[in-house]
């Protein structure tokens, strides 16, 4: 009788999701909220992220998931006066002086027992030199001082499918820019830091029109014992954050 035990795969149920840089526009506003839109103009986007342990495939409950992204015109809250049509040559946290205390399109949620968080936001626009993307940071929390946690386990960027993005960028709120976005394939970080594995699964919420908005989802596999090199504890002390 053949012994087939050697054919049983030993790989984990979920692979570790690729990390990407946090970029210069990370803040820690301690905003726990599901709806982060703050009335920003744009096509609605409902986002569902599932966080799992990359080794076991099990859900990670009570993790703090922060997201942040630019508005339809390419501006980030906290840096609203930075011209999004001019490319910046820095990508480090705290490398660009903040211009305001706005908090639109930023916020965090705790994963439920199934490892899921849900956000209501808008489809992101773009700024010069980048494809459309959403930033994510995941903290493993402990005790009652969760808003003081500086242990960031995973940092990434989520990308949007080209077909959906093209239809959104033709909408009034997004059009009329002096520059064009990069495609995913033209984006340096997408190409070099696992962007294909970081692309959201997106479909329209309404049957007839993109104006009704989009639903995006992804499962993120993390190492719950890791400390990300992309957002370090000392980054929380930088005066521009």
Indicate whether 210 pLDDT > 90.
no
What pLDDT is recorded for position 212? 87
pTM over 0.75: yes
Which residue intervals of the chain are DSSP H helices? 162-169, 188-192
Asked if residue 161 lies in contact with residue 120, where contact means CB atoms within 8 angstroms, the answer is no
Q: What is the pLDDT of residue 11?
A: 45
- The pLDDT tens digits of the residues spanning 119-154 come to 999 999 999 999 999 999 999 987 656 667 788 999
Going from the N-terminus, what domains does the chain have, and what CATH number goes with each? 5-237 (2.60.130.10)
pLDDT for the residue 209: 63
Other beta carbons within 10 angstroms of residue 211's beta carbon come to 13
Q: What do you get for the CA distance between the two ends of the chain, in Å?
A: 64
Does 6 have pLDDT greater than 50? Answer: no
For the segment 40-49, what is each residue's pLDDT rounded down to a tens digit?
A: 999 999 999 9
pLDDT at 144: 59
């Amino acid at each position: 009788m053949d012994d087939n035990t050697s054919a049983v795969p030993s790989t984990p149920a979920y692979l570790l999701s690729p990390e990407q840089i946090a970029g210069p526009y990370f803040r820690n506003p301690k905003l726990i909220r599901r709806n982060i839109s703050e009335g920003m103009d744009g096509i609605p986007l409902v986002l569902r992220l599932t966080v799992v342990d990359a080794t076991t495939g099990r859900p990670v409950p009570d993790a703090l998931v922060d997201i942040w992204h630019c508005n339809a015109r390419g501006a980030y809250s906290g840096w609203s006066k930075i011209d999004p049509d001019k490319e910046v040559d820095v990508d480090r946290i705290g490398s660009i002086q903040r211009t305001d205390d706005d908090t639109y399109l930023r916020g965090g949620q705790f994963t439920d027992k199934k490892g899921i968080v849900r956000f209501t936001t808008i489809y992101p626009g773009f700024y010069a030199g980048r494809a459309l993307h959403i930033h994510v940071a995941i903290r493993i929390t402990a005790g009652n001082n969760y808003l003081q946690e500086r242990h960031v386990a995973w940092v990434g960027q989520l990308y949007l499918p080209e077909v959906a993005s093209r239809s959104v960028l033709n909408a009034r709120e997004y059009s009329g820019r002096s520059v064009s976005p990069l495609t995913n394939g033209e984006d340096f970080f997408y190409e070099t830091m696992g962007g294909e594995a970081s692309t959201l699964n997106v479909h329209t919420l309404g049957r007839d029109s993109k104006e009704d908005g989009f639903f995006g989802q992804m499962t993120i596999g993390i190492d719950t014992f890791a400390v990300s090199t992309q957002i370090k504890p000392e980054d929380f002390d930088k005066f521009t954050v």
